[in-house]
Structure 1
């Protein structure tokens, strides 16, 4: 097959042909540089670009190209002047580019806030013995800021962010806190209960500082004696809380966060109503994050797989109403998921609006667009595209993996949307 076999002239274009535009992304009005021609208007717009020939993909096309004209013109006519519709489309695309830049600035601000919060969590873990009251003050201040922000706006976006290697314990505490407050918001907990829940979530694993690191970092299955020692971290957490003068429901969260509604948890094997309602929320967030971010990365589930396992195999462990609300607000494809779109392009879910969980924000791989300028789609606005399925990072070709840079550890933070409506 010759090199020209995968090229067509504009006259051979037809609806159903999958084409590649060998032009800069800003030099045409289409969302992508590779796509399947869907209608007559799109066909005319492609021809109006004035390209002498275009690449096409036979495997992704529904039809074959039209045959070449019997008497091709000797000299290609000059490209027509852009129509008013094309000019408007290019202007709309420029506006879209500005929106993408604003979104990137917004993401950078969320990341900055996340890094500041993770530094506070690091300080809390470092100073809990030497400055217990100051540690509690910092925890209360951070949680108060988060609760005020998340309860104060009608819409809150949940973002997947990059974390620094070696700080997984801090990210876990922060993840569980963010996810717990989000769920408390959905369940319409009072502000006071949400504050107690948040403090308990932030401090739920403080007892682990009494557990040897060789057990915490072990990637092989723990022995029974090691499991018994690890399970003591709940009670150690209560002991560490006394010098802090921590009171209220937050203490129950620290003690009970590994209790399950079916009685299979620890340390006391409590069931359903015996477990604090606040703890039942935190235990869902804790289990979800442990499935996504285990000590052995080989055992990690994607966010999509974690939710599926919790609902299909583990739902008797959790409060039914809270678990369904958690899945509903994170969506079928939570932030951090690798997904394939209905146009067969691959993307990474960046953010989800709990009010509209099936239409997340996705960054898309497009080889024609530099990684630093990758296209970000808000599926709430791009109604023609849907998510077809979730993919594991290991299924991606190396080029796409490097482009999307999926996180080894999924970390979450939030972005209150001022003035938004559900």
Structure 2
């Protein structure tokens, strides 16, 4: 029997155990090999752009294999099953297909949607954790093995670019806070949003590579600072001028390390300019927009946004909606107008992590925003009759009669809703493929 036969992706069935010969960023499943269990998984597999997929007959359902042998898709030898008896091929003996009630169909669709949601969440969190591990290792190697640090970082950025620059639309996904640690979370958040913004602004691939590398390493100079200074907010009025000057030295330290790593000139400019502002009030050189690179303008904006959402003191954190509103109302002049306009357009009025009230008065938390169509995000809705671990986010894009009425501070939610939604004190972002469908209907019923 063959060890790894392949099958036309259009002939895949529930019950087959498949092996995906793809990179870790190229599919949304938690593992590269698994048994297909839902129609949702079949649809996802058929959307990966593959012609054929490897299967493992030994780990597949025997009934499914028998069916494929009977259809002539697989030979009995390849499938490792006996050829069907001639009598069983009687054309008049049509199989009896049980009729599925509408209620059963709705429950099945909800189960499939829930499994797909759990698989996407597990995959995104696994990738986020792996990205953090690689980033920490790159920071550790920057001084002693700069070439190895650069190679690790660039490999990771290329993996991100394969995902972002693919044909499929991408979304920004909110992760559980436990997916990342404080040291790497900020850099990954900035990289994820910066790359999506760079795509929104139609940067070329070489510019996107410099943008991703610079964003990933923009704070590498902080490794040269003591902990008491490393996490300062330079705009906080409680920071002394001496501390602020000490903190600002991380930019020059970063450029020095970047040169040791032999980073590209474009990436080095991001390290040098990620605290500059379009109005000339940034540091260290007060450059202004006309002297900043396109990539640095993007990272400077995204860096500030993430620092507002994830400050050194969690009690001072703003919700993503509040951060966006503050930047628009009080900081707009600090950012390049074209970059800021594209950022607002991409993130939408309610970025992932925003706590909202829907037009039908239910409460929810935005968990995913399609970066190409942000006005109808996916929202985790508080459904008292639906256990939290069985909740499927509601895709407002597929429910045109429902929208978001307003944003709320988490402390203004009813206690039961606050416990159910559990808004994160720190916001972690990663990529996911834009969703084609959401919950079964606008009510999200079980």
TM-score by length of 1: 0.76
Paired with 2:398 and 2:433, the residues of 1 have a C-alpha distance of 19
* Structure 1 residue 296 corresponds to structure 2 residue 310: no
Quote the offset at 1:113 in angstroms: 1.2
User: 2:157 is matched with which residue?
Assistant: 143
Query: Is the 1:154–1:419 contact (alpha carbons within 8 Å) kept by the matching residues of 2?
Result: no
User: 1:313 is matched with which residue?
Assistant: 330
Is the alpha carbon distance of 1:386 and 1:328 closer, same or farther for their aligned partners in structure 2, counting shifts above 3 Å? same
**Aligned pair partner of 2:106 in 68, 87, 92:** 92
Quote the offset at 1:346 in angstroms: 1.1
Paired with 1:223 and 1:180, the residues of 2 have a C-alpha distance of 30
**Aligned pair partner of 1:376 in 377, 390, 393:** 393
Task: Provide Cα deviations, 1:190-242, integer angstroms capped at 9, x if missing partner.
Answer: 00000011101101001111121112346882111000110111111011122
**Aligned pair partner of 2:142 in 95, 110, 128:** 128
Paired with 1:370 and 1:96, the residues of 2 have a C-alpha distance of 13
Quote the offset at 1:297 in angstroms: 1.3
Q: Following superposition of structure 1 onto structure 2, how do residues 161-176 of structure 1 map, counting pairs within 5 Å?
A: 161-164=175-178, 167-176=181-190
Segments of 4+ moved more than 6 angstroms: none
User: 1:116 is matched with which residue?
Assistant: 130
Paired with 1:180 and 1:403, the residues of 2 have a C-alpha distance of 31
User: 1:25 is matched with which residue?
Assistant: none
Query: Is the 1:163–1:171 contact (alpha carbons within 8 Å) kept by the matching residues of 2?
Result: no
Q: Following superposition of structure 1 onto structure 2, how do residues 249-260 of structure 1 map, counting pairs within 5 Å?
A: 249-260=266-277
Q: Following superposition of structure 1 onto structure 2, how do residues 230-249 of structure 1 map, counting pairs within 5 Å?
A: 230-249=247-266
Unaligned runs of 5+ in 1: 1-85
Quote the offset at 1:414 in angstroms: 0.3
Q: Following superposition of structure 1 onto structure 2, how do residues 10-409 of structure 1 map, counting pairs within 5 Å?
A: 87-88=101-102, 91-164=105-178, 167-217=181-231, 221-409=238-426
Query: Is the 2:114–2:391 contact (alpha carbons within 8 Å) kept by the matching residues of 1?
Result: no
Paired with 2:231 and 2:172, the residues of 1 have a C-alpha distance of 28
Paired with 2:422 and 2:309, the residues of 1 have a C-alpha distance of 16
1:129 aligns to what SS in structure 2?
Answer: coil
Quote the offset at 1:418 in angstroms: 9.9
2:365 aligns to what SS in structure 1?
Answer: strand
User: 1:61 is matched with which residue?
Assistant: none
Paired with 1:87 and 1:343, the residues of 2 have a C-alpha distance of 29
The structure that has the greater radius of gyration is: 1
1:267 aligns to what SS in structure 2?
Answer: coil
Paired with 1:270 and 1:166, the residues of 2 have a C-alpha distance of 33
User: 1:5 is matched with which residue?
Assistant: none
TM-score by length of 2: 0.72
Paired with 2:154 and 2:267, the residues of 1 have a C-alpha distance of 11
Paired with 1:291 and 1:106, the residues of 2 have a C-alpha distance of 27
Paired with 1:92 and 1:369, the residues of 2 have a C-alpha distance of 15
Unaligned runs of 5+ in 2: 1-99, 438-446
Paired with 1:404 and 1:184, the residues of 2 have a C-alpha distance of 31
Query: Is the 1:363–1:376 contact (alpha carbons within 8 Å) kept by the matching residues of 2?
Result: yes
1:164 aligns to what SS in structure 2?
Answer: helix
1:413 aligns to what SS in structure 2?
Answer: strand
Is the alpha carbon distance of 1:364 and 1:166 closer, same or farther for their aligned partners in structure 2, counting shifts above 3 Å? closer
RMSD of the TM alignment (CA)? Answer: 2.0
